[in-house]
Structure 1
Amino acid sequence: MNGKWKLLPILGLLACTANTKPAAPASLPIEGTWQLLSSAYIKKDTTIRNDAPGTRMIKILNGSHFAFLLHEVRTPGDTLAPRSFSAGGGSYTLVNDHYTEHLEYCSARDYEGKDFEFTVALHGDTLIQSGVEKLKEYGIGEEDLPLVEKYIRVNP
């Protein structure tokens, strides 16, 4: 066989691989419904629990939007409306473990139109979300607060 024909299979393989792009890094599979297990702010050297006893919160994530709902849990025989209720939602982006919420709707209206950036980690059915809420920067609070929230996936 002529020498130039021996190179043909090699050139064919190179042509097949030359235009392939590396796969984009996969983002974490966070879509679904999540129940808040714990929430804490870190203020200077003190950890402050942010998940009040007697409340329940869920976060719902689809491919592009999130919503959260928080209210006081009724006790048996309680016929009054919950004294505490908070809700919000909007769009989000997730690139690898970098999660950004754009809060479009919120019962605390000062938060609307703000972006909140977090790092997320997924450990089995547990989602850990941590970041700094830029409350001072946004004119909502006295200082920016580091926040760590832990959620468990709600099974259908």
Structure 2
Amino acid sequence: MKITIIQLLMVFLFLSCDTKNTSYEAPENVVKNSIEGSWKLVYADIRENDSLQIKDLSKTDFIKILNGSHFAFFNQDQGTSENFMAGAGTYTFNGSDYAETLDFINAPDYRGHVFPFKVEIKGDSLIQQGHEKIESAGLDRYILEKYIRIKNKN
């Protein structure tokens, strides 16, 4: 009888030592890029030829979302279903060099185009600037955009 109880205990212990872990936990040493997250546009100016246009953002919401490899942006007038615009694609980020490859947008001339920018991240602010040029679309302008990080509501 003694041997049977010991044998049952050993079998139970053996079966409970499953090395598979079915739940996923992110490794502690994985560091997200400081650019990853959700950002709200709070200032934008466009320099084209000899003119400067400062965008009125008081009645629109412009959000940019960046994960480890992709970006998406959404723009819509507040309180309405009008003037919705969106785009998405992949990006690269190295130091202050940031480049978006726009893969999804309703403007065919923009698809597949790479937009190089310089970025600076200061605390919860992201400043992005660069030259947007697509000859086939008649686009040739310099932009400066300032975003603030959208914080989780946890």
What range describes the TM-score normalised by the shorter chain of this pair? 0.7 to 0.9
Larger Rg: 2
Aligned residue type for 1:37: V
Shift of 1:108: 2.6
Q: Which residue of 1 aligns with 2:143?
A: 147
Shift of 1:110: 2.5
Moved over 3 A (4+): 50-53
RMSD: 1.8
TM-score (norm 2): 0.73
Aligned residue type for 1:65: H
Q: How does 1:5-154 map to 2 (within 5 A)?
A: 29-74=34-79, 81-135=80-134, 137=135, 139-141=136-138, 143-154=139-150
TM-score (norm 1): 0.72
- Using the aligned pairs only, state the percent identity: 42
Aligned counterparts of 2:57 and 2:124: Cα–Cα separation in 1: 23
Residue 115 to residue 60, structure 1, CA distance change in 2 (3 Å): same
Aligned counterparts of 2:113 and 2:58: Cα–Cα separation in 1: 27
Q: Is the 8 A contact 1:86 1:108 kept in 2?
A: no
Shift of 1:44: 3.1
Aligned residues: 121
